[in-house]
Structure 1
Amino acid sequence: MTLTGEVPRDASPAVERAAYRTVQEALTNVRKHAPGSTVVVEFQRPGPALEVTVTNTKARQPALVLPSARHGLIGLRERAEHLGGTLSGGPTPDGGYRLHLQIPPRGTRPLPTADVPRHGPQ
C-alpha cells in the first residue's frame, strides 16, 4: 500500500472521522473483493476541500467469501453528504476500483459518532 498526504490540521473531528472511515471501508472492500491488489491512498487539498482517494488494482487472487450487508458505501455517502461533501466510486479502466471523498475540511455540522484518534499532538 502507498500512502500520500495527510488530513489537514484544520479539519474538524467529524471530517477526520469521515476520512478515517472512508479509508477503513475502502481497505476492507479491497481485502474482500480484490485480494492481492495494490492500493494507493491519497489525501489532497487542491482547493478548499479535502479529497481522499483510495484506488486499487484488479485482484490477483480469488475474492474472499465473507459476509456483507452491503451498507458500507451507503453509510459513507450519507456521512459525506451530511458534512457537505460527496462520495463517488467505480471501476477503473484496468479492472480495479477507485473511491473518492471530497469534503469541506470543517464540514457543515458535526456528526455524533465514536471518537477516532486524531493526528499530531493533542
Structure 2
Amino acid sequence: MNMTELKKASIYIFFVSVICFSCSERELGNGYYFLPKYEAIDVGYPEGEAIVYKSNKEYIFSNIRIRGDVLEVHADSEFIIAKRDPLISWETNTGVLEYFIIIKKSDSVIGPLTKENFILKTKKSDINLEFE
C-alpha cells in the first residue's frame, strides 16, 4: 500500500468511526432514542430541541419522553438517565439543570429532579450510570 492509499484508507476509517459513534449515541435500547439539538432541524423535528423519545422506528416522534434541551444521556439495559437545561425560547435556556431517570421496563419517567434528588434516587435504585 502506498502513502496515498494509506491516507485514503485512514480517512475512510475515520468517517466510518464517526458515523458509528453518532449512531450508537442516539440509540438507547428498548426502542428509546436520543435526538441531539444539532440534528433536530435536519431530520424534521419542528421544535428544534434535543429530546428523548420512544418509538418503533428512529425519527418517529410520537412518544416524546423528555423534551426541552437534553444535554446528556446515558443508558444501560434497564435505565436511561438524562440531564437537561430547559428552554425559555428556541435559543435561550434557563441555566438550571434538571435530571431524569427513565425505567425502561415500565416506561416510567422520574423527574425533573434536582441534582441532589437525582443522586439519591440513583443510589436507592442501584443505577450504575453517571454523567461525564
TM range (shorter): under 0.3
After TM superposition, the score normalised by the length of structure 1 is 0.27
Which of 1 and 2 has greater Rg? Answer: 2
Task: Kindly indicate whether structure 1 or structure 2 has the higher relative contact order, using CA contacts under 8 Å at least 6 residues apart.
Answer: 1
Question: TM-score normalized by structure 2?
Answer: 0.25
